[in-house]
Amino acid sequence: MRYTNKKLVERYETDKEELLRRIDGDEELKPVLTMVSVTKITSDQSIAQRAYDLAASNNREELMKLVESL
């Protein structure tokens, strides 16, 4: 994370282990960041959409299973 023009800018993760840590540790899941991170790991758009849906519904357990299966 970094600050630009007094706004917080968050980065997406390209490493599966780091993404899993973020899913497990963040207070609030960011669906768009999660989807982009999964897209960087796999090119399957249906998996990316599923990751977005799980993050939007705050279903961490299923989201971690999905990311681990990649």
Question: How does pLDDT run across 14-41, given as a tens digit for each residue?
Answer: 788 888 998 998 888 889 889 999 999 9
Sketch the domain layout of the chain as residue ranges. Answer: 2-68
Give, as one character, the DSSP assignment of residue 43: -
Q: Which residues of 3-17 are buried (b: 16+ CB within 10 A; e: fewer)?
A: eeeeeeeeebbeebe
Contact 13, 7 (CB under 8 A): no
- Assess whether pLDDT exceeds 70 at residue 2: no
User: In Å, how far are 8, 56, 67 from 34, measured between CA atoms?
Assistant: 17, 9, 10
Give me the pLDDT at residue 27, please: 82
Residue 9, classed as helix, strand or coil, is: strand
Lowest mean pLDDT among 5-9, 11-15, 37-41: 5-9
pTM of the entire structure?
0.80
